[in-house]
Amino acid sequence: MVNPSSQSPHPSARLFYGWIVVGVVALALIAAAGVRSAPGVFLKPVHDDLGWSRADISFAVSVGLVIFGLTAPVSGRLIDSFGPRTVMVAGLLLVGISMVISAFIVQLWQLGAIWGVLSGVGTGIVGSVLGATVANRWFAARRGLITGIFGAATSAGQLIFVPALANLAASFGWRSASVVLGVIAAVLIVPTLILMRNDPADMKLLPFGATAATQVVKSVADPDVMKRALGTPEFWLLAGTFFVCGATSNGLIGTHFISYAADCGIVAVAAAGTLSLMGLFNFAGTIASGWLTDRFDPRKLLAIYYSFRGVSLLLLPFVTSASAQAAFPLGLTVFAMLFGLDYIATVPPTTALVADRFGRKNVGTVYGWVFCAHQIGAALASWLGGLTRDGLGAYTLAFIAAGVIAIAAGACALLIRRAPRLQAIAA
């Protein structure tokens, strides 16, 4: 049995089991990211196959994003009650089922029920809150880095699945690609059952970097934390800025990027490759953001990220117009590289601010609702993006509006009051 008082902050005698947990969770996040990216890849094939408008398909995607967001705080509570292992298995099972049966969609309401409700619940369970909660349960040190790794896993899912799904859809149809994705999600249940553990105490360990002197306690949800959080301007600033994050990333770019590329005369497979490049840069950017969050003021990082994102969105319609019919979409590629650097780099500093302001033991619940705002923003932007394209024949207005609100979010991030770290730990 490990003596808690003697465990070093950086155990070297053997591999800390938390790293294995990180690996298992990362695999689940990769699969969930693949499922969440599928609607953006399948939007045009579904439009061509079934004749539904982009606005109608985008609305179904929006339903999924809203359900994803609403499931996030529920997921935090379920993790507190039943542990990450059980919740992960349930989420992966729902994700696998939703993708397999989506291959048989023939009516629009089915798209909303499967892509929207069923897939939304599954990916909401195996989502950002899971990573944030596991990072805070298993790690007292390097939490920002671990959160960055989980964000990078989401980027890796995009990097892997977007071009793969585009190629599968082009070769065998979007229905077959959905089945493949569902089977992959179901297979990941096996390593989850074998290797996943709920808490360091299950392995007679303390969180990484903790000793008895640090008085790190097991994460237990405060039933009144949301009542306290809702009365603070910090919660609303965090939720508001994350709303903008979701609107400008998953909602607009995640759903409509490939469709916009098609408007520029770029074939779907090439556009998917560009979106995959965005995932590659996001992979690096999110890990770097986690490292920076452990060392610098998260508020300043968020201000930089949102402002940079806003400028890139404002420039997008102008750098891509000259790319039409080009074999190598230079403008779109440059945008993908720049936008990818902070696509979800906002997650580590946002999670850190939630932990600092409301206490690490409450991250699952409070961050769950902050993330819910993220997904509501994503849903709204996904739907409005489709309406803008159908109504005006172009995405230009949507990109400009997104750029403006992103810059505004950067300014708002500086207004968040950061509680002293010792106070937050004691909370």
Residue 426 burial by Cβ neighbours in a 10 Å radius (0-12, 13-18, 19+): exposed
For residues 352 and 290, the answer to whether their CB atoms sit within 8 Å is no
pLDDT band at 221 (very low <50, low <70, confident <90, very high): low
Give the C-alpha distances (Å, rounded to integers) separating 249 from 55, 257, 314: 18, 10, 14
Torsion sign across C-alpha atoms 79, 82, 84, 88: negative
Share of the chain above pLDDT 70, in %: 88
pLDDT band at 89 (very low <50, low <70, confident <90, very high): very high
In contact, 173 and 279? CB cutoff 8 Å: no
Q: H-type helices in 51-188, by residue range?
A: 54-82, 84-101, 108-111, 119-125, 128-138, 143-172, 174-187
Mean of pLDDT values over 347-363: 82
**C-beta separation of 139 from 19 below 8 A:** no
Token digits of residue 211? 């000793």
Supply the mean pLDDT for the chain.
Answer: 81
Give me the percent of the chain exceeding a pLDDT of 90.
22
More confident residue, 303 or 113: 303
Residue 105 has pLDDT above 90, yes or no: no
Closest listed residue to residue 235, CA positions, set 417, 411, 71: 417
Residue 307 is which amino acid?
Answer: S
What average pLDDT does range 264-275 have in this prediction?
Answer: 73
Q: How confident is the model over 361-367, as a mean pLDDT?
A: 76
- Residue 139's DSSP bridge partners are 208
When pLDDT is averaged across residues 301-325 and rounded to a whole number, the result is: 80
Q: What is the pTM of this model?
A: 0.71
**Which one, of 362, 234, 338, 351, lies nearest residue 280 by Cα?**
338
Question: Measured between alpha carbons, how far is 61 from 272 in angstroms, rounded to an integer?
Answer: 18
Q: Which residues make Cβ contacts (< 8 Å) with residue 113, sequence separation at least 6? A: none
Average pLDDT over residues 224-248: 90
* pLDDT at res. 266: 76
* Predicted pLDDT of residue 270: 73
The yes or no reply on domain 15-205+221-426 and CATH 1.20.1250.20 is: yes
Tokens of 248: 């400008």
Q: Which of 418, 274, 255, 426 lies closest to 352 in space, CA to CA?
A: 418
pLDDT value for 129: 77
Instruction: Give the alpha-carbon dihedral of 236, 240, 241, 246, to 10 degrees.
Output: 140
CB atoms within 10 A of CB 66: 22
Return the pLDDT at 211.
65
The pair of structure tokens assigned to 125 is 């369970």
Q: Any idea where the domains of the chain sit in the sequence? A: 15-205+221-426
Q: What is Dmax (Cα atoms) for the chain?
A: 67
Structure confidence by residue, pLDDT tens digits, 367-426: 888 988 988 898 889 888 888 888 888 888 999 999 999 999 999 999 998 764 434 333
Give the residue from 193, 158, 191 showing the smallest Cα distance to 87: 193
**312 token code pair:** 């890139």
- The Cα-based distances of 49 to 54, 157, 385, 390 in angstroms read 12, 26, 21, 18
Residues in the chain: 427
What integer is the mean pLDDT of 256-261? 82
- From CA 93, how far away is CA 399, in angstroms rounded? 36
